[in-house]
Structure 1
Amino acid sequence: MNVSAKVFEPTSVDLLSEAVHQNRALSAAGFLERTFTFAFRSMVYPQIWEDPRADMEALEFTPQSRVMTIASGGCNVMSYLTGNPARIIAIDLNETHIALLKLKLAAAQHLPNHATFYRFFGAADDRRNVHLYRDLIAQHLDAETRAYWDGRDISGRRRISRFARNFYRYGLLGRFITSGHVMARMLGANPKRILDAQSIDEQREIFDREIGPAFDHPLLRWITSNRASLFGLGIPPVQYDALSDNGARPMSEVLKERAQRLATGFDLKDNYFAWQAFGRRYAPQGQGPCPPYLDKANFLAVKTRTNRVTVVHDNMIRFLSNEPAESLDRYVLLDAQDWMDDATLNALWREITRTSRPGARVIFRTAGEPSILPGRVSSALLERWTYDAARSAEIHAKDRSAIYGGFHLYLKRD
Structure 2
Amino acid sequence: MGKTLAMELQRHRGQPGAGNPITRSVVRKGAGVAHRLLDHAFALAFRGLVYAQIWEDPDVDMDALQIRPDSRVVAIASGGCNVLSYLVADPESITAVDLNTAHIALNKLKLAAAQGLPDYAAFHRFFAQADSPANIAAYRAHLAPMLDEPTRRYWEGRDLIGRRRIGGFSKGIYKRGLLGNFIGVAHLLAKLYRIDLAQILAAPTQEAQRAVFERELAPVFDKRFVRWLTDQPAALFGLGIPPAQFDALAGDQRMAQVLRRRLEKLACDFPIEENYFAWQAFSRGYARDGDGPLPPYLQAGNWDAVRARAGRVTVLHANFTEHLATLPDASRDRYVLLDAQDWMTDTQLNALWQQITRTARPGARVLFRTAAQPTLLPGRVAPDLLDRWTYHPQASAGFTARDRSSIYGGVHLYELRA
TM range (shorter): over 0.9
Conserved in 2, the CA contact under 8 Å of 1:65 and 1:85?
yes
1:178 maps to 184
2:393 maps to 389
Counterparts of 1:257 and 1:192, CA distance in 2: 20
The Cα of 1:24 is off from its aligned counterpart by 5.5
2:332 maps to 328
Conserved in 2, the CA contact under 8 Å of 1:361 and 1:411?
yes
The Cα of 1:13 is off from its aligned counterpart by 5.8
Encode CA deviations 1:228-280: one digit per residue, 9 max, x unaligned: 110011100000000111xx100000000000000001000100000000111
Q: Which moved more, 1:268-277 or 1:152-161?
A: 152-161
Which structure ranks higher in relative contact order (CA pairs < 8 Å, sequence separation ≥ 6)? Answer: 1
Counterparts of 2:366 and 2:80, CA distance in 1: 19
Counterparts of 1:268 and 1:26, CA distance in 2: 44
The Cα of 1:23 is off from its aligned counterpart by 3.5
Please tell me whether residue 69 in structure 1 is matched to residue 69 in structure 2: no
Paired amino acid for 1:62: R
Distance 1:368 1:147, change over 3 A: same
**Alignment partner for residue 261 of structure 2, among 257, 261, 265?**
257
Counterparts of 1:251 and 1:191, CA distance in 2: 21
Conserved in 2, the CA contact under 8 Å of 1:385 and 1:410?
yes
The Cα of 1:302 is off from its aligned counterpart by 0.4
1:39 maps to 45
The Cα of 1:396 is off from its aligned counterpart by 1.2
Encode CA deviations 1:342-383: one digit per residue, 9 max, x unaligned: 000000000000000111000000001100000000110011
**Alignment partner for residue 103 of structure 1, among 103, 109, 113?**
109
2:303 maps to 299
Conserved in 2, the CA contact under 8 Å of 1:25 and 1:31?
no
SS in 2 for 1:400: coil
| Alignment size in residue pairs | 403
1:6 maps to none
Conserved in 2, the CA contact under 8 Å of 1:389 and 1:408?
yes
Conserved in 2, the CA contact under 8 Å of 1:102 and 1:141?
yes
**Alignment partner for residue 375 of structure 2, among 371, 378, 386?**
371
Cα RMSD (Å) of the superposition?
1.2
1:51 maps to 57
SS in 2 for 1:104: helix
The Cα of 1:183 is off from its aligned counterpart by 1.1
1:410 maps to 414
SS in 1 for 2:234: coil
Paired amino acid for 2:271: D
Counterparts of 1:56 and 1:25, CA distance in 2: 37
Paired amino acid for 1:171: G
2:200 maps to 194
Q: Which runs of 4+ in 1 moved over 3 A?
A: 10-13, 23-26
**Alignment partner for residue 26 of structure 2, among 20, 37, 54?**
20
Paired amino acid for 1:249: Q
SS in 2 for 1:372: coil
- Unpaired runs of 5+ in structure 2? 1-15
Conserved in 2, the CA contact under 8 Å of 1:12 and 1:94?
no
The Cα of 1:187 is off from its aligned counterpart by 2.2
The Cα of 1:25 is off from its aligned counterpart by 8.4
The Cα of 1:284 is off from its aligned counterpart by 1.2
Normalised to the residue count of structure 1, the TM-score between the two structures is 0.96
Percent identical pairs in the alignment equals 53
**Alignment partner for residue 123 of structure 1, among 115, 118, 129?**
129
- Unpaired runs of 5+ in structure 1? 1-9
